[in-house]
Amino acid sequence: MKKIPLSRVFLNEELREAALHALNSGSYILAKECEAFEEELADYIGTKHAVLCSSWTGGGFLLHRAMGLKAGDEILVPSHTAFPTIEPMIHFGAKPVFIDIDETYCLNVDLLEASITLRTVGILPVHLYGHPANLDRIFEIARKHDLWVIEDCAQAHGARFKTNRVGSMAVAGAFSFFPSKNLTVMGDGGCITTNDAALADDLRMLRNHGRKSKHIHEVVGYNLRFNEIQAAIGRVELRYIDKLNEHRRRVAARYTERLSNVVKTPPEKEWAHAVYHMYVIRTERRDELVKHLQSKGIGTGIHYPVANHQQPAITKIYSDLPRLPKTESAVKEILSLPMYGELPLENVDYVCDTILEFFGR
């Protein structure tokens, strides 16, 4: 029987050698490899600066701190996202104001304005599954109400909104390099991209105990730094990201072509160049289908089975949580199929055959 995992990291000899080279270099934290990776990332995303940090979540702390987030502030954010999207803001006493999704599973921009209050300070769209959120409309609303925008790009390395890469258009973009992501460093890692030099300086200072020089601490900061071996790995991954993303798009096209008559396949907007971090279908028979695929050696995932506004950690804190009908019905039906940059198309066909067989086609 075939064994097809949900995802798999990209790993080659060049990458192993780069890791070994960094291991033997004698420098381990925020040195040459990190500097080069930051420059190459900024160049790739299309920003002036990229600041590496220990994870997306670590980057979120740095960003909210640098931008002066305070208790009582409100941020508009989709509920349908990874839980860490909302964690850093809550630690600062700010409140996530949850917005329902549209058919792309990103936040529904038509619902934003009704949720703005005098306490709203920003919008945090998530380019979920690698599909960009509708940034034109988000920026229009943000300008009108004087709000900042931070893009959650954890699942969207290389995705484009119209001609620009995500992470290049807002105050800042936040990326994750967790092993399942389109671009990984074989461990935890993240980065913030921005065109704002002062913000980049603050982030660099805050990630390294609030210092600009070795012995002088300007503010009380954190240790959310990055390291050399992982930067060396990330630099190799970055050289392959476009090729791997293009393959993801080929896989997605094959799934859509073969499955759109039996399940709801994910749409791609005309302004989007999605990078299919996940390929997510929808069916009312999701749980049965999972079991069937499992019995045929096919790995699947659910991203995410419990919406954040219904997580115990959140319902314990807030009593005025909204009902989000689109999110609440999606979480019961969504299913992520195998997807990675080197997934053979014959395996995609095997997954499709197995799904068609399940639906009696």
Ligand X SMILES: Cc1ncc(COP(=O)(O)O)c(C=O)c1O
Residues that bind ligand X (CB under 6 A): 55-57, 81-82, 84-85, 126, 152, 154-155, 176, 178, 188, 190
185 vs 355, which CB is nearer to ligand X?
185
Smallest distance, ligand X to C-beta of residue 226, A: 12
Q: Please, are residues 182 and 341 in contact by the beta-carbon 8 Å criterion?
A: yes
Smallest distance, ligand X to C-beta of residue 173, A: 11
- Cα→Cα distances 252→247, 274, 330, 343, Å: 9, 10, 20, 11
2 vs 91, which CB is nearer to ligand X?
91
- Cα→Cα distances 269→47, 103, 132, 272, 334, Å: 24, 10, 9, 5, 19
Smallest distance, ligand X to C-beta of residue 73, A: 19
- Give dist(CA 137, CA 134) in Å, integer: 6
- Give dist(CA 90, CA 72) in Å, integer: 10
65 vs 258, which CB is nearer to ligand X?
65
- Give dist(CA 250, CA 271) in Å, integer: 18
Smallest distance, ligand X to C-beta of residue 77, A: 10
278 vs 343, which CB is nearer to ligand X?
278
Smallest distance, ligand X to C-beta of residue 253, A: 23
Q: Please, are residues 340 and 277 in contact by the beta-carbon 8 Å criterion?
A: no
Question: What's 219's DSSP letter?
Answer: S
Smallest distance, ligand X to C-beta of residue 133, A: 11
44 vs 178, which CB is nearer to ligand X?
178
Closest CA to 205 of 221, 228, 189: 221
106 vs 252, which CB is nearer to ligand X?
106
In degrees, to the nearest 5, what angle opens at C-alpha 276 toward C-alphas 59 and 193?
25
CA 259 to chain centre: 25
